[in-house]
Amino acid sequence: MTRHAATSRRLGAGLLATLPAWLVAHLVVLLVCRQISPGDVLGPLYVWDTHWYLAEADGMAHGTAVFTDQTGAGGLAHFFPLTSLATAGLTVVTRLPTAFVLFAFSWTMSLLFGALVYLIALTETEDEGTARRAAWLSQLAPGAFVLVMGYTEPLAGVLAAGYFLAVRRGRPGWAVALGLLAGVSRPTGVVLALFGLIEAIRRAYRSDWRPRSILSGLAQAAAPLIGLGGYLLYCQLHFGDWILPYAQQVTGGNRGSVAQNPLGTFQYLAQSGYPYGGQILLTSAICALIALAGLIACLLKLPISYTAWSAVMFWLGITSPLFTSEPRYLAALFPLLIALAVVARRWWQWYPLLALNTGMLAWVAWLALSWHQVA
C-alpha cells in the first residue's frame, strides 16, 4: 500500500470514528436550541459571531460591503477572513443560499477536524482506542458547541491539526500551505509558528544541522507569520492601519484587553452581582480544570512542542476578560484532548470523562446561546 493510500485509509477511519460523536454533539446543541427557542430551533445558532461571518460571506459573494459594521469600513477587520472567503467562494460556485453554505461548510470542517485529531493521536500513540477517544472529545469538549455554529473554529481547527500532522510527518509543502492559511484563519493562528519552530529545531538537531533541514524547518515555522502578514498588509492598504484587527480585539465590545488576571476575574464574578456571574464562574472553572488536567497529561505523554503551543493557547483562554469565550478557546486545544484520551484508558476513567464533557457541552451551549456568556 502506498503512503498516500495508507493516509487515505486512516483518514476514512478517522471520519467514521468521529461521525457518532459529531452526531451526538449536533443533537445535544440542537436540543439546547429547541429548549431556548421552541418555535425556531435553528435561530439560536445565529447569535454572537455567526451573523457577522454570514454578513461577511454574503458581502463577498454578492459584491456588497465587507468588513463594515455600524462603525464604518474596517469595523469587522478582527473577523479574520478565511472562513468568510471559503463560504463566499462556495456560495458563488453552488449558487446556494449563503447561510446554508456557511453551516454546511462549518459542519463538514468540524467532522474533518475530528478525523485529523484521530490521525494525530494514532500517529503519536499508535493506539486506535486512544485515537477514537480523542476524536470523540474533539466534538464533545464543553466549548465545542461552536463547531455546530457558523464560526471559524471548524476551519481553523482543521488547519491547525493539519499543520501539526504535516510538520510531524515531514511534509514541508503541506506544512507551509496549511500554515499560511492558518495565519489568516483567526487571530491566534500565528501561535502555530511556535510549534513549527520547536519542531524545526528538533529536526535540525537530528540531521546534524544540515542547511536543507534548517531552511525547510524555518519555512514551515514562518508560514503562519507570513499568512498573518499578508492579511495585515491588506488592512494597511485598505484601511490605513496594519494592526487594525488586533486593535479591535482589545476594544470594550470585543475581547477587551490582551490579558486579564483570571484571579481578578474570578473575584469580580463572585462578588459583583454580574448577571449569571455564578454560572459563568463555575462553568469557566470546570472548563479550565479539564484543560489543565489535559495540559499536565500533554506534558507527560506528548512531544514538548505540543505542550508549548497548548500552554500559550491555554493562557490566552483563561485570561480573557470575564472569561469571554473561554470554553471555545480551550476546546480548540486538541493536544490536550489527545492527552486526556491517552490517560483515560479504562472504562471507569473514560465514561465519567465523556459524561462530564457531554454534560458541560449542553450547559455551556445553553449559557452562550441564551446570551448569558459571550461565545
Q: What is the pLDDT of residues 159-214, one digit of tens each?
A: 999 999 999 999 999 999 999 999 999 999 999 999 999 999 999 999 999 999 99
In the three-class reduction of DSSP (H, G, I as helix; E, B as strand; rest coil), residue 104 is classed as helix
Q: Which own/partner pairs from 256-260 qualify as long-range (CB within 8 Å, at least 24 positions apart)?
A: 256/320, 256/321, 256/322, 256/324, 257/321, 258/319, 259/315, 259/316, 259/319, 259/320, 260/319, 260/320, 260/321
Please report the pLDDT score of residue 1 as a whole number.
65
Nearest-angstrom CA–CA distance, 305 and 188: 16
Supply the pLDDT for residue 252. Answer: 73
Q: What is the pLDDT of residues 315-327, one digit of tens each?
A: 999 999 999 999 9
Among 67, 92, 71, 70, smallest CA distance to 80 is for 67
Cβ partners under 8 Å of residue 280, min gap 6: 269, 274, 322, 323, 367, 372, 373
CB of 81 closer than 8 Å to CB of 184: yes
Does residue 253 register a pLDDT over 80?
Answer: no
Query: Measured between alpha carbons, how far is 67 from 52 in angstroms, rounded to an integer?
Result: 9
Q: Which amino acid is at 67?
A: F
Distance CA 362, CA 141 (A): 10
User: Tell me, what DSSP letter sits at residue 250?
Assistant: T
126-171 pLDDT per residue, tens: 999 999 999 999 999 999 999 999 999 999 999 999 999 999 999 9
The C-alpha cell of 109 is what?
Answer: 470542517
Which residues touch 153 (CB under 8 Å, ≥6 apart)? 110, 146, 147, 186, 328, 331, 332
pLDDT in tens, 76-133: 999 999 999 999 999 999 999 999 999 999 999 999 999 999 999 999 999 999 999 9
CA distance 101 to 94: 9
d(C-alpha 123, C-alpha 104), whole Å: 29
Has residue 364 got a pLDDT over 70? yes
How much is the pLDDT for 145?
98
Instruction: Give per-residue pLDDT as tens, 16-66.
Output: 999 999 999 999 999 999 999 999 999 999 999 999 999 999 999 999 999
In the chain, beta strands by DSSP E: 68-69, 72-73
Which of 276, 106, 73 minimizes the C-alpha distance to 185?
106
> What phi and psi values does residue 64 have, to the nearest 5 degrees?
-100, -170
Work out the percent of the chain whose per-residue pLDDT is above 70: 100
Quote the pLDDT of residue 250. Answer: 87
What's the whole-model pTM score? 0.97
- List pLDDT tens digits, range 261-306: 999 999 999 999 999 999 999 999 999 999 999 999 999 999 999 9
